[in-house]
Amino acid sequence: MSALDRRSGLVLDTHELGRRAGALKLVQTTVEAPADLGIEVIGVPKGSPIELDLRLESAVEGVLVTGTAQVELRGECVRCLSAVEDRLEVDLQELYVYPGSEAEEEEASRMVGDLLDLEPVLRDAVVLELPFQPLCRPDCAGLCPECGANLNDDPAHEHAGDNDPRWAALLKFEQGHQQTYDVASNPRNN
């Protein structure tokens, strides 16, 4: 396995812990987020703070890491494209086996010397929790399909020809179970 980058905040040194089973080390620290932590529509901005609250425990085969990571999220609402900001806390739990360990679990993470790399585990945990369809708010009205206006700012927005039944059906479909916008009751029609 290639050497780990000690400069990465997500590479933890377990040297102090020693290899006596049962030894415990608590790690509470804030590190910088790596690049590309997320999916296309939402993710953790590179360099943003990740708060780690971890417990490193020596076990027979390796070091068990448990705890939480709090990250900032930034993305885009899939309906209206406005910025979405949020925070996310994920649970982490991983056994990092010692380099010489006979544990042959292919799925297990391996230590490199005294170092362990939290990044792959954090990445899996964060990506699993991300909303695939982030919304600025649950009832976001989205954009006008005709001119792109944000319908959250202007719910009464309409164009001549909006009474086209095909478009009304589409609007209903997109808004799902939410309250549908009733063109007939729009006072601006008068």
Binding site for Zn ion (CB under 5 A): 77, 79-80, 136, 140, 144, 146-147, 149
Angstrom distance (rounded) from CA 155 to CA 21? 63
Residue closer to Zn ion (CB basis): 156 or 169: 156
CB of 79 to Zn ion, least distance (A): 5
Contacts of 42 (CB under 8 A, 6+ apart): 73, 74, 75, 76, 84, 130, 131, 134
- Work out the angle at residue 117's Cα, subtended by the Cα atoms of residues 103 and 101, and round it to the nearest 5 degrees: 15
- Stated as kind and residue range, the H or E segment containing 167 is helix 165-175
Place of tokens 């708060």: 51
Whichever of 124 and 154 has its CB closer to Zn ion, that residue is 154
Q: Least CB distance from residue 129 to Zn ion, whole Å?
A: 20
C-beta separation of 145 from 175 below 8 A: no
Residue 56 CB, nearest approach to Zn ion (Å): 41
Identify which of residues 33 and 136 has a Cβ nearer to Zn ion in the complex: 136
Dist CA 34 CA 49 (whole Å):
10
User: Which residue, 9, 45, 44, is CA-closest to 27?
Assistant: 9
Least Å from the CB of residue 93 to Zn ion: 34
For Zn ion, give the closer residue by CB, 78 or 108.
Answer: 78
Contacts of 173 (CB under 8 A, 6+ apart): none
Query: Considering beta carbons, is residue 79 or 92 the nearer one to Zn ion?
Result: 79
Determine the Cα–Cα distance for residues 158 and 177; give it in Å rounded to an integer. 21
Residue 39 CB, shortest distance to Zn ion, in Å, is: 17
